Structure 1
């Protein structure tokens, strides 16, 4: 499947920003099942390119003059092949999966979450079945509700409040898996729904299956294993390390964010 993706991000400020530096992770990953046909990221200042320790392409730019808004645009075409039962092709030169076992401030767990997810440690149940059952349980526990959380809310907050979005589903799932020492990582990207015109950024989780030595993609928001409709941008321990645009600024007052994502199938 070939997708045409456009992603526009605009920040607006109530007061002039004197200086800002931004890190952009909006370049799809090149994999055996996902290939960039063409891709461009436009930023308001000259950008430098690097690859972080998770293997993500990171563009960095700084704006040294006063500004009241800031826009980042990314667009291009990506070819995506279906996965076999949600499993990604084996990786080479990847980090040790154990890197994704410790909790982070956003993925800490409590005793209730530990008990809630206790069945994931039952090795008598097939691995993918356990992970999909956890995804279903999380989606039922944390009702998808736009605007109910912020990017600073943790897994425990979403779990206790019973509301959240894809980012919260992913953080709760990471917390539950890390409670049982199962390596799991956060994934940012896109989910293509052919029935809608306006899309959003999306997030899901990849869990390491030790027996198969492969990562399994699990989308708790959609209660499904990842297949050919998911486009990967970045992976990390949580949202902070995989955020599409993240930076610091001097001045600016209050900030508002507008994101527009359109995805079209080209074949």
Structure 2
């Protein structure tokens, strides 16, 4: 299946920034599951490429002039091959993904919840369903700084929160699991095209767990980056000097190649 992606991100500042640096994980890489047919990342600043510790492609963008707006556009076509996840070229053994982080630390309620499940796929599918039953999908209910414990307690969040809770549970019961950022093609307008899900190591291979869509097969997913949590795989992270209050507007379209952007989001 060939998918066309366009992802626009705009930062607006109340006063000019002096300098800024952004780390952009907005370039997918070729894997057995996805072939990159074309890809273009447009930025207003100087850029250089690097590969981070998790093997993600990172564009480092720097700007040393005053600006009140930064717009980033990622666009391309990806062919999903339909091949299942197997072992991959991660520089780390799966056991690295047992390490908790501040965003995925299991508090007492999460530990009590996770104890009901075990380290096999059928049980983890049940856990995924139970997490979605507990945590309502509600855009705007959380921010990127919310932890798994906070989302679990308030019972609202977005794909990032569902994924963090799932990760916290898996690691507590001894299952290696990593955070994935990317895009998804759906026929629903309820969810954003930018997305997050988890990949679990079950002895021989990695397995997809998409809590929000209750999927354990990555049939329409385009992977951008992986890591221990959101902070490792965020599409855009950076720092700046000056600028005052920041406002972010982002929009993404994922369509079948040949459709017009906006026909399916």
TM bucket (normalised to shorter chain) is over 0.9
Local SS of the residue matching 2:239: strand
Instruction: Supply the distance in 1 between the matched residues of 2:249 and 2:17 (Cα, whole angstroms).
Output: 17
Determine if contact 1:20/1:248 at 8 Å carries over to the other structure: yes
Match of 1:219 in 2: 210
Match of 2:115 in 1: 118
Instruction: Supply the distance in 2 between the matched residues of 1:185 and 1:47 (Cα, whole angstroms).
Output: 28
C-alpha deviation, 1:197, in angstroms: 10
Alignment of 1:89-238 (within 5 A): 89-92=86-89, 94-121=91-118, 127-196=120-189, 199-210=192-203, 213-238=204-229
Instruction: Supply the distance in 2 between the matched residues of 1:187 and 1:24 (Cα, whole angstroms).
Output: 15
Determine if contact 2:185/2:193 at 8 Å carries over to the other structure: no
Give CA-to-partner distance per residue, 1:174-219, whole Å, 9 cap, x none. 1111112211000000110135499431000001011xx1111100
- Where do 4+ consecutive residues of structure 1 move more than 6 Å? none
Instruction: Supply the distance in 2 between the matched residues of 1:93 and 1:240 (Cα, whole angstroms).
Output: 18
TM-score, structure 2 normalization: 0.93
**2:244 matched to 1:253?**
yes
Match of 1:67 in 2: 67
Instruction: Supply the distance in 1 between the matched residues of 2:187 and 2:81 (Cα, whole angstroms).
Output: 16
For structure 1, the 5+ residue unaligned runs are none
How many pairs are equivalent? 258
Give CA-to-partner distance per residue, 1:112-138, whole Å, 9 cap, x none. 2112111332x5xxx221221111111
Instruction: Supply the distance in 2 between the matched residues of 1:184 and 1:96 (Cα, whole angstroms).
Output: 11
Q: CA RMSD in A?
A: 1.6
Instruction: Supply the distance in 2 between the matched residues of 1:151 and 1:197 (Cα, whole angstroms).
Output: 20
C-alpha deviation, 1:17, in angstroms: 0.7
Instruction: Supply the distance in 1 between the matched residues of 2:35 and 2:102 (Cα, whole angstroms).
Output: 33
TM-score, structure 1 normalization: 0.92
Instruction: Supply the distance in 1 between the matched residues of 2:44 and 2:70 (Cα, whole angstroms).
Output: 7
Instruction: Supply the distance in 1 between the matched residues of 2:109 and 2:191 (Cα, whole angstroms).
Output: 37
Determine if contact 2:54/2:90 at 8 Å carries over to the other structure: no
Match of 1:7 in 2: 7
Alignment of 1:31-110 (within 5 A): 31-84=31-84, 88-92=85-89, 94-110=91-107
C-alpha deviation, 1:93, in angstroms: 5.3
Instruction: Supply the distance in 2 between the matched residues of 1:198 and 1:139 (Cα, whole angstroms).
Output: 14
